[in-house]
Amino acid sequence: MKILSRITVIIMTSVFGVQIGFVNAADGVPEVSRDVRAKVAIGKLQVQKQAALLYVKGMTCPSCAIGIRVKLSKLDFVDRNRFKRGIEMDCNNQLLTVALKDGTSPNWTRIEQEIDNAGYVAVEWFSMQKDELKSYPFLKVAE
């Protein structure tokens, strides 16, 4: 998707001499620092119950990241009645919240696979333990 946008801009520029303003991950919102992301993650985890929170590298444009929502919302443990089809994308902080059905736990392997299938990288997931943020790297990133 990102490559196609860049090719379209190049073609439009060379053929018509006009630059069209596309916003994509490279041109849009820059990734925030780890410290900023951690502060936002703490706030989200304190408010959201029965939800999984993770950092997705490059998720800086909601339109580009729609594939993540499409793929994750099909997972059997996702509560599609919350957020937008069970997925909240915070592209300003590259954080993704997955609403979980009552009594279920996230399947981190399946989440990582579906994010990868959407063309993004799931870097780590978060939890709160005794008022302290803990992060856990996904296997693909840890290798």
The helix or strand, by DSSP H or E, that contains position 36, with its residue range, turns out to be helix 34-47
The helix or strand, by DSSP H or E, that contains position 43, with its residue range, turns out to be helix 34-47
42-97: pLDDT as tens digits:
999 999 999 999 999 999 988 878 999 999 999 999 999 999 999 999 999 999 99
Residue written as token pair 């399947």: 107
Give the β-pairing of 95-99 and 51-57: antiparallel
Residue 62 has a pLDDT of 84
More confident: 18 or 67: 67
Residue 139 has a pLDDT of 81
Spatial strand order in the sheet of 132-137: 87-90, 95-99, 51-57, 121-129, 132-137
**Residue among 104, 5, 118, 9 nearest 96 (CA):** 118
